[in-house]
Amino acid sequence: MQTALTLPELRLAVEKLRESGPRTSTVALVSTMGALHDGHLTLMRAAAEKADHVIASIFVNPRQFGEGEDLDAYPRQLAEDSAKLESEGVALLWAPDVAAMYPAGYATNISVSGVSAGLCGGDRPGHFDGVATVVCKLFNQVRPDMALFGEKDWQQLAVIRRMARDLDLAFPHVDAIHGVPTVREADGLAMSSRNAYLSAEHRAAAATLPRAMDEAIARIRDGQHVGRTLAAMEDELLGAGFSRVDYAELRDADSIASLDGDNGNARLFVAARIGGTRLIDNKPV
């Protein structure tokens, strides 16, 4: 596996990958912030099934962290992550530093309205501007034929697809931005780098989140009142040891518009805090 640390190195490496076969090879991009777990590696495997070469990026993006969030504490383990990527057959790792991604004088920001409103967009002002900006830069730097993202961050996926559609991006085209189903632990908790922050007690209690979501979804499918169902789910989470529920909402999967009932395209979105760690999840109804 090659590792590129500067933009000229990256572009030369991508060009060589594309010219490595008897025809122009296809490349897939999987962008990450590192601290890789099996959820990330599942994305790499899915990308390998779709493209000739997989390019992974690791960049802890300061622009998507808000005031008081865990930018400094976010785990950085490039050597360990590199070994995991190499074992998955990733062809190229793009690992820029902040100066390479945002050089002196950088002054551009991308903002995507609509799908970024509410949910994590409401709780973390400016977060999705940072996501859209860095992902657009990564797309322009790598110019992949396709890109893959985990569905655990469903609102993020919706923001990226909206950006690609609105800006007429060709590498990748919006139709080549693929979501990969959430990878879960044995007890149902969605895999996340932030799970490592949980104590043993809080980790055990965190499994209440996916179970409570499944119960709420079953009630919604049965036609029970959405507001009362979600309020009961919040009470269950607080009773299990969660300190706060940031949101628990039913939304349209594509527009991210609020719903008061299942429209045939609904997803349940939840963000809750336990032991100082903020966990997010979403599931289709």
Backbone angles phi, psi at 85, to 5 degrees: -65, -40
Backbone angles phi, psi at 37, to 5 degrees: -125, -175
pTM: 0.94
Q: What per-residue confidence (pLDDT) applies to 46?
A: 98
Q: What per-residue confidence (pLDDT) applies to 109?
A: 97
Determine how many CB atoms are found less than 10 A away from the CB of residue 146. Answer: 19
- 10-residue block means of pLDDT along the chain (285 residues)? 98 94 87 95 98 97 87 91 98 97 97 96 93 98 98 97 98 98 96 92 98 98 97 98 98 96 96 96 98
Active site residue 53: no
Q: Which amino acid is at 103?
A: P
Of 151, 160, 125, whose CA–CA distance to 269 is shortest?
151
Q: What per-residue confidence (pLDDT) applies to 26?
A: 95
H-helix or E-strand spanning residue 164: helix 154-166
Which of 37, 40, 53, 173 is an active site residue? 40
Measure the CA–CA gap between 271 and 248, rounded to whole angstroms.
7
Report yes or no: 148 and 276 within 8 Å, Cβ to Cβ: no
Q: What per-residue confidence (pLDDT) applies to 270?
A: 98
Tokens for 242? 């969660």
Strands ordered across the beta sheet of 244-252: 244-252, 266-274, 277-284
